[in-house]
Amino acid sequence: MLRRIIWEENFFLIYGSSTTLTINNNMSRIGKKGISIPEKTEIAFNNGVFSVKGPKGTLERSFKPDIAIKIEGKDVSLSLIKENKLTKALWGTYASHIKNMVKGVNEGFEKKLILEGVGFKSQVGGNKLVLALGFSHPVEVVIPTGLEVKAEKNLITFSGIDKELVGSFAAKIRSLKKPEPYKGKGFRYHDEIIRRKQGKKSV
């Protein structure tokens, strides 16, 4: 039987069937959920700046006034002030930022890179990560403030309370020597699987 599906603002109508599938596109699944603040964590929201202080440190972030952020005891809630495409997108994004800030000051975040390749080495010297990646000279990268980097043999660990900083710096290091698909030489995340290609066979 031929069925016709038509989008009607907030729901689908499936003609030729008694089924109506309702989709609420005005709500953010992440944004509408309240955020619980754990013990030993202090939060404040003043003049558009949200701050979180926990056992591992303090984080601050500025938010636009399009989203209302309310603190009630140990709970944080977010709601729309004006309803448009921008605020709907920001609603869930802001909630994710706050959750990551709370988790960061309590548990922290971590990324691990594995360096594979004969002669490839890594070590931390002062505030720099020094890498031997097969070039004619070592590659030195300054470690950002607030980030801890450990290099043990072929494993490099990045840790810190800022999720974006940890992730972006790890991605920056990985881009210096991306894993090649034949022998797998280069950086890869510890849980990353590199699809290998078969090399050319000599006749």
Could you write out the three-class secondary structure of 8-64? ECCEEEEECCCCEEECCCCCCCCCCCCEECCCCCEEEEECCEEEEEECCEEEEEECC
Note the pTM of the prediction, 2 decimals: 0.77
**Per-residue confidence (pLDDT) for residue 2, from 0 to 100:** 44
In a domain, 203, yes or no: no
Rounded distance, CA 132 to CA 135, Å? Answer: 7
Domain end position, chosen among 45, 78, 106: 106
Query: Do 122 and 178 lie in a common domain?
Result: yes
Q: Which domain holds residue 78?
A: 26-106
Region 7-16 average pLDDT: 45
* Average predicted confidence (pLDDT) for the chain: 83
Query: Do 82 and 114 lie in a common domain?
Result: no
In a domain, 59, yes or no: yes
- Bigger pLDDT: 92 or 20? 92
CATH of the domain at 94: 3.90.930.12
Rounded distance, CA 66 to CA 80, Å? Answer: 7
Least confident of 35-39, 59-63, 81-85: 81-85
Domain end position, chosen among 69, 91, 106: 106
Rounded distance, CA 155 to CA 95, Å? Answer: 33
Region 178-199 average pLDDT: 79
**Over 70: is that where the pLDDT of 114 sits?**
yes
**pLDDT band for position 92 (50/70/90)?**
confident
Helices of type H across the chain: 85-106, 163-176
**Per-residue confidence (pLDDT) for residue 11, from 0 to 100:** 43
**Over 70: is that where the pLDDT of 6 sits?**
no
In a domain, 1, yes or no: no
Q: What is the pLDDT of residues 150-163, one digit of tens each?
A: 999 889 999 999 99
- Bigger pLDDT: 145 or 66? 145
Query: Do 67 and 47 lie in a common domain?
Result: yes
Query: Do 46 and 63 lie in a common domain?
Result: yes
